[in-house]
Amino acid sequence: MSTYNIVHKKRIHLGAAILLGFFALLFFLLIGRFFYLQATGEAHGHNLSAEASERYNVDKTIDATRGSIFDRSGDPIAEDTPSFNLVAVLDEALTTDDKKPRHVVDPEDTAAKLAAVLEVNQNEILEKLQLNRKQVEFGALGRDLPLSVKKEIEDMKLPGIGFVEGSKRFYFNGKFSSHVVGFARANDDGVVSGVTGLEKMLEDELKEQNGSLAVKTDNKGIKLSMDSDVSYVPAINGKNVHLTLDKTIQTFLEEAMNNVVEEYEPERIIAIVADPKTGQILAMGSRPTFDLNTREGLTDNWNNDAISYRYEPGSTMKIFSLAAAIEEGVYNGSELYQSGSYSLPKDPIPVYDHNRSGWGTISFDEGVQRSSNVAFALLADKMGTDTLLEYIHAFGMNEPTGIDLPDETTSNINYDYYRDRISTAFGQGSAFTPIQQIQAATAIANDGKMMQPYVVDKIVDPNTNEVVLENKPKQKGTPISEKTADKVLEVLESVVSSENGTGRPYSIEGYKVAAKTGTAQIPGPGGYLSGHGEYIYSITGMAPADDPELLMYVAVEKPKIAQHENGAGPVSGVFNSVMRRSLQYLSIQPDENQQNTPKKKSVGMKVPNLVGKNIQDVSSGSNGPEYVMVGEGSKVLKQTPQPGREVIKGERVILLTEKSPALPDMTGWSLRDVRKISNILKLETEIIGNGYVLNQNIIPGTPVEQGNNLVVELGSNRPLPQTDEQEEETEETESEEDSEDS
């Protein structure tokens, strides 16, 4: 073999050896890397298991919604609606193209523009934008923004500014039985929960549970077919709460209280409207109040005064003392007594009538009509104060009513001394709550049967449509007989109809009203307050008097009244308006036998179910409501009022025919009609003033979407007449109000 061949072979062997060694080293490196990855599960600081799970496992949160709150007709009071939270990207590394920046480039300019839209301090925004973070949210400054604000910010095309979609609690009517409904809001973690009222008390029922979906996919994102690779937890929506509140009657009440606040500036108003046959609360409100959406005014009064404020009621308490005296057989309406003052045994200070000189020798019937304290002191003596206390207990006034609202308080019955016992008979010395008086008065209006008040009608699980709670009328007792109840109503009707009656300002044309007025003293640091207007003026009234369908209590504390005025002005401003409008709204027939009062024709009719109907098939008849088509669609998607609701001739019924309709011209519309269209379109509505629509911020014909801000200015102008009968009714209403003011 030649020397060349030998050298060539050696080189080949050496190359093979080197190549073999290289592959052996590579093999051992790969094996070592494999075992390292198996042992640590990390590569270059990344968790391989987590990244694989992220790439091949798709995890989604299925959002659930908090339960809604409805009035007794199914109209929404509170619902979850879409909202947007403002976020800012501050990390410059996320911008890959300087022409299309993805982070906040100019914090000062961005803060100035955002502050102008959000109406907040520019420095607060700038402080957020200068934080050393990759991304920031703005907390309360940028949380729960409506769609209109989101669009306005998007139109500015600010680099690095974006939104995270969520939901917020929306209250359709703003100031609407605010202390009853309460409100829910999100904490810093975005978790929504109830803070006050029913929203807090029914948190467990209203609370939602988000669901989840976990799916394993291949490297192309296609779901693997094995059932074991899918994990699904359904979303559970919160339960829906249906209240006994009637949105229309509550709106009447809110409007009336607003008018009285504007005219008389009282420190407090409390009002309750109830169905005495069932105990259902149809409306409940107070002033000061607050806006459920903005919470403006919340710090003025956190409490629901209708159930948590006890005070000496004054002469409205005489209703129950009268009932006790009649039931005990010691009341003779034609019996005479000397009015003015009455001396108590071993007490140097007599009981005085509000007219200290009295009215001479008068009958007990006249004494009730004139609200004589002496008459009721004599009745308490006749039946015995221990017997009176038994009736106070029988009327449930010694304990909470048990109404399904949070934070109810109870009475303070001061019965230690004889004077206190006698004073309790005419509403002084002992303190009670408005809701205790309402419950007790149901016995007067309901043939002696006392009904427990309640506000929650039913709770429905929307996931199964199961009714999980349904309240029924509950009788709390029978403190008096039917015969006694009828007699009390007869006497109380004379308080309103008699020329001597303190209730004359509370008469309502076409209806008999049974009522008792009250003027309660307010305890102060050195005794009771004195001076003109330094009282709580009140009324407990029922109508129609022969068989009451509505029971109402109104109290107005320390109104600013002129020297020639008494408390009837502010109290009747609430009572008369709400009672009259509610009776008509409920189509309760006027009393044919009421003297000197013309009977009004019934103009009520039930709204048909028009959802799904072609708009060509819907027409406004001369004797029916006026149908207002919102949108240019061919079919009715939603309607308000709901099918079956009673409406009067010419009343507007709103029919929605498309999802983003144009807003109509609402000039001359009433607040009630504005609420209808606001609710059906789910607009965030701000009402300015009282009366009828003068201006609206959204130009008629402009398309609107859920969450848009609608601002409506009301004025004292009369509505545009729609029918001769409606114009006649308006003239009658104005005439009545003028006579009440006089």
Catalytic residues: 315
| CA atoms 296, 302, 304, 309: torsion sign | negative
What angle separates helix 671-681 from helix 247-264, to the nearest 10 degrees? 130
Element (H or E) spanning 485, and its range? helix 482-497
The dihedrals phi and psi of 322, each to the nearest 5 degrees, come to: -60, -45
Q: What is the DSSP string of 333-357?
A: TT-EEE-SEEPPTT-SSPEE-SSTT
Tokens of 280: 């259902």
| Cβ atoms of 165 and 81 closer than 8 Å | no
Cβ neighbours for 231, distance < 8 A, ≥ 6 positions apart:
212, 213, 214, 215
Calpha distance 319→438 (Å, rounded)? 11
Calpha distance 414→436 (Å, rounded)? 16
| Cβ atoms of 167 and 80 closer than 8 Å | yes
Partners of 510 in beta bridges: none
- What 3 state SS string does 290-322 have? CCCCCCCCHHHCCCCHHHHCCECCHHHHHHHHH
| Cβ atoms of 467 and 460 closer than 8 Å | yes
What 8-state DSSP symbol labels residue 729?
A: H
What radius of gyration do the chain's Cα atoms show? Answer: 36
Calpha distance 399→630 (Å, rounded)? 51
In this structure, the strands spanning 46-47 and 527-528 are unpaired
Among candidate residues 445, 439, 474, the one with its CA nearest the CA of residue 278: 474
| Amino acid found at 369 | Q
The b/e string for 650-687 (b: 16+ C-beta within 10 A; e otherwise) is bbbbbbbbeeebebbebeebbbbbbbbbbbbbbbbbbb
Element (H or E) spanning 732, and its range? helix 724-741
| Cβ atoms of 175 and 254 closer than 8 Å | yes
Please state whether 668 falls in left (phi above 0), alpha (psi between -120 and 50) or beta. Answer: left
- CB atoms under 10 Å from CB of 609, counted, come to 12
Calpha distance 425→699 (Å, rounded)? 59
- CB atoms under 10 Å from CB of 37, counted, come to 12
Give the rounded distance of the alpha carbon of 516 from its chain centre: 29
Calpha distance 122→108 (Å, rounded)? 9
Q: Is 56 exposed, middle or buried (0-12, 13-18, 19+ CB in 10 A)?
A: middle
Calpha distance 675→679 (Å, rounded)? 6
